[in-house]
Each structure stands twice: as C-alpha cells, then as structure tokens.
C-alpha cells in the first residue's frame, strides 16, 4: 500500500507557511497529525538547505532555524 506523506509533496514550504502565521511546531504537528519531531526534522532540513544558499539564508534562516531574529548588516 502506498501512503502519502501527511505533510504533502513539499513539507518544508507547507510547514514554513504555517510557521509564518505564528504556529508552533507542536501546533503544526497537531494540524497535520504527525509527531512534533517530524516537524522539527523538516525544519532542520529546510534550515540546512537555506544555509547552503546564502542569499536566501539571510532572508529566511532566522525562522527556518528556529531563531527569533538575526541581525543582517545593511548595505
């Protein structure tokens, strides 16, 4: 039997959208019916992917990595 992932084909953006709305990992996990560890794993993978691309990392790393803020020097 082929089961679909409850987070959908692109779990990173799915979780990021709800996180941007202010939901915690636990709330997101409850919404999707998955363990909170699954949400944290996806966030960690998304963070690593974003950190690989420095331009995107400056804009999105704080939320994706679970940080509250990140100081980015102005040009």
Nearest-angstrom CA–CA distance, 10 and 5:
9
On whether residue 75 sits in a domain, the answer given is no
On whether residue 6 sits in a domain, the answer given is no
Contacts 24+ apart (CB under 8 A), 45-49: 45/12, 46/12, 46/15, 46/16, 49/12
For residue 53, pLDDT over 70 is answered with: no
On whether residue 3 sits in a domain, the answer given is no
- State the total domains in the chain: 1
On whether residue 39 sits in a domain, the answer given is yes
18 vs 49, residue with greater confidence: 18
- What's the domain range around 51? 11-64
In the prediction, which pLDDT does 59 show? 58
On whether residue 2 sits in a domain, the answer given is no
On whether residue 26 sits in a domain, the answer given is yes
């Amino acid at each position: 039997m082929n089961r679909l992932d409850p987070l959908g084909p692109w779990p990173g953006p799915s979780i990021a959208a709800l996180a941007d709305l202010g939901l915690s990992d636990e709330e997101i996990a409850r919404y999707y019916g998955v363990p909170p560890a699954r949400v944290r794993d996806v966030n960690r993978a998304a963070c690593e992917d974003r950190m690989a691309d420095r331009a995107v990392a400056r804009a999105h790393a704080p939320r994706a990595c679970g940080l509250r803020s990140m100081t980015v020097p102005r040009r």
